[in-house]
């Protein structure tokens, strides 16, 4: 580093990595980091394969030319991996040594909670860090929104719309399992957007007889020929739920597990725009002398949060979406409102 006029040490070289599960928009964030760094005369080193790559010195020099045409691509050009070795002090010491060997003064880490925990530990080794939240699960507690969530939702919605067409033709009941790990953000958002009969989420305990069996029976009596149930992977197995429905009422559901298809594909405009803003803000913070923070969203604004504070935060699912879904099925608001009394 060198000192600039206002007394802040000017950063000369940063590293950028993606870690954990891939999310559409990660490439857009990498691009923003590299281009913003270049505009400020900061060199950028791409660390391949996440924290393990930092341990192994698996790197490539990045320039504005090397990140051309990646804005529209899903996945991550830097690849991603999980590292058992980085979880131990010896592994983190190796990673810090790699930073010093390469002259990397700060790391921009793009990923989820696990990525941020790694960044926090690396900061304790004397390396400055900035985190950018990117996971389709939207389960980073310190941020209202994470890169990749919107694309994953749109992918799931498109798949379910297609399923609905063929299932309705055959008068079938559909059970669709979406990702989300231990959070129901994806399932609830997608369920509401597709007009699903119900969404089973980890945050809300459900009664199989009341919330599934009776709901199906009521819908069938009302003349509905096709029923859609969305299940968050953290709330149970769609295969198991489909089997129980058949055993309870004799209707044989068609079960679809969308799986990793939700992680791929071209990022939406929202994810590209959000990733670009977050990548820009991360580098700007480092240039202005701020580090060891997470770039998050709050009430629609991009904010910087101290990483230790960010890791202590808890985010709660907005259950108003759940009540809205119930209202859409009940055909009226009165019963839903009575549940809140």
Residues 6+ apart with CB under 8 A from 197: 215, 216, 219, 227, 228, 229, 329
- Show the CA angle centred on residue 76, arms to residues 81 and 150, nearest 5°: 105
Distance CA 69, CA 21 (A): 22
Q: Is residue 58 flagged as an active site residue?
A: no
Per the CB < 8 A criterion, the answer to whether 1 and 11 are in contact is yes
Phi, psi of 109 (to 5 degrees): -105, 120
Give the containing element (helix H, strand E) for 297: strand 293-298
Question: Residue 211 carries which DSSP code?
Answer: I
* Nearest of 308, 337, 309 to residue 323 by alpha carbon: 337
Distance CA 13, CA 15 (A): 7
Select which of 113, 137, 139, 271 is catalytic: 137
Per the CB < 8 A criterion, the answer to whether 53 and 17 are in contact is yes
Neighbours of 217 (CB within 10 A): 13
* Nearest of 43, 28, 33 to residue 273 by alpha carbon: 28
Three-class SS state of 176: strand
Residues annotated as catalytic are 137
């Amino acid at each position: 580093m060198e000192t600039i006029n206002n007394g802040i040490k000017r950063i000369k070289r940063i590293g950028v990595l993606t870690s954990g599960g891939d999310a559409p928009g990660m490439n857009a964030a990498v691009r923003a980091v590299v281009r913003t760094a270049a505009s400020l005369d900061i060199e950028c080193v791409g660390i391949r394969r996440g924290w393990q790559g930092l341990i192994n010195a698996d790197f490539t020099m990045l320039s504005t030319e090397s990140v051309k045409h990646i804005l529209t691509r899903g996945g991550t050009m830097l690849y991603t991996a999980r590292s058992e070795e980085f979880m131990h002090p010896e592994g983190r010491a190796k990673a810090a040594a790699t930073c010093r060997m390469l002259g990397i003064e700060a790391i921009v880490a793009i990923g989820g909670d696990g990525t941020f925990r790694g960044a926090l530990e690396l900061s304790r080794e004397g390396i400055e860090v900035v985190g950018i939240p990117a996971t389709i699960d939207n389960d980073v507690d310190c941020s209202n929104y994470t890169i990749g969530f919107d694309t994953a939702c749109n992918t799931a919605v498109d798949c379910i719309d297609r399923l609905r067409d063929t299932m309705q033709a055959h008068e079938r009941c559909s059970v669709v399992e979406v990702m989300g790990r231990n959070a129901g953000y994806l399932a609830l958002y997608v369920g509401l957007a597709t007009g699903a009969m119900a969404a089973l989420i980890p945050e809300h305990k459900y009664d199989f007889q009341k919330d599934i069996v009776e709901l199906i029976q009521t819908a069938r009596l009302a003349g509905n020929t096709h029923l859609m149930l969305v299940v968050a992977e953290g709330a149970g197995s769609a295969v198991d739920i489909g089997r129980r429905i058949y055993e309870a009422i004799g209707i044989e559901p068609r079960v679809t597990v969308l799986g990793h298809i939700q992680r791929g594909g071209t990022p939406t405009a929202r994810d590209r725009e959000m990733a670009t803003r977050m990548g820009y803000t991360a580098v700007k913070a480092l240039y202005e002398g701020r580090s060891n923070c997470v770039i998050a969203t709050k009430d629609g604004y991009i904010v910087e949060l101290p990483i230790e504070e960010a890791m202590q935060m808890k985010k709660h699912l907005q259950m108003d979406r759940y009540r809205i879904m119930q209202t859409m099925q009940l055909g009226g608001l009165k019963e839903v409102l009575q549940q809140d009394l």
